[in-house]
Amino acid sequence: MTKDDRYGAAGDTYGDVPTPEAAENGTGESTNGEAADRDRDRDRASESDSTEGDAAETNGTAALPFIFARRTVKADRDALPVYVRPTTAERLDALERDLDDRFDGDDVMSLDVREAVVTAGLRNIDDVVDVMEQWGYGRR
C-alpha cells in the first residue's frame, strides 16, 4: 500500500462535482474548476452560522455530510502527526478493513477512520482516562 493509497490522495471520489451535462447524460465527468470554486465560495458566504457537526460541515454545502461536501480527503483538515506503537497501528488497520466491509460500496479513507477514532475518543473522555491510567499516568 502506497502513502497515496493510505491517505486517500488518489481515491477520494466523494468531492467530485459532476457537470450538469454529465449528470444528464450519465458520463460522470466532473469539474473542480473556477465555476465550482465560485459556487463553493458563494455557498460559504450564504451560510450564516457555522457549527461543527457530524452530519454537515461548513465547507460550501452544509446540507451534505462531510464526505460528500469536501473537495478532497485532505480538504478542511489540519495535519496532526500521531505516532503510534505497532499494536495500535495493527488495530487501526483492522478497524479500517472492518469499516470497509461494513460500508461496502463506499471508499473508506484512512484519514476518515483516524479522525473518527479521535472524535469518538473525544466523546468518551472516560475511556481516554482509562487507557492513560493503564499506561501509568496518575501513579506518581
pLDDT exceeds 80 at position 33 = no
Is 7 in contact with 74 (CB distance < 8 Å)? yes
- As a whole number of angstroms, the distance between CA 31 and CA 20 comes to 10
Same domain for 126 and 93: yes
Mean per-residue pLDDT of the chain: 73
Same domain for 59 and 98: no
pLDDT exceeds 80 at position 97 = yes
Is 65 in contact with 55 (CB distance < 8 Å)? yes
* Structural domain of 37: 20-69
> Has residue 14 been placed in a domain?
no
**SS3 label, residue 30:** strand
Quote the cell numbers at residue 103.
460500508
> Has residue 5 been placed in a domain?
no
**Number of domains composing the chain:** 2
pLDDT band, very low/low/confident/very high, at 135 (cuts 50, 70, 90): very high
In the prediction, which pLDDT does 86 show? 97
Distances (CA, A) of 10 to 3, 6, 121, 138: 10, 9, 28, 43
Distances (CA, A) of 17 to 2, 14, 25, 75, 116: 26, 8, 15, 14, 24
> Has residue 13 been placed in a domain?
no
Question: Is the whole model's pTM more than 0.85, yes or no?
Answer: no
Same domain for 93 and 120: yes
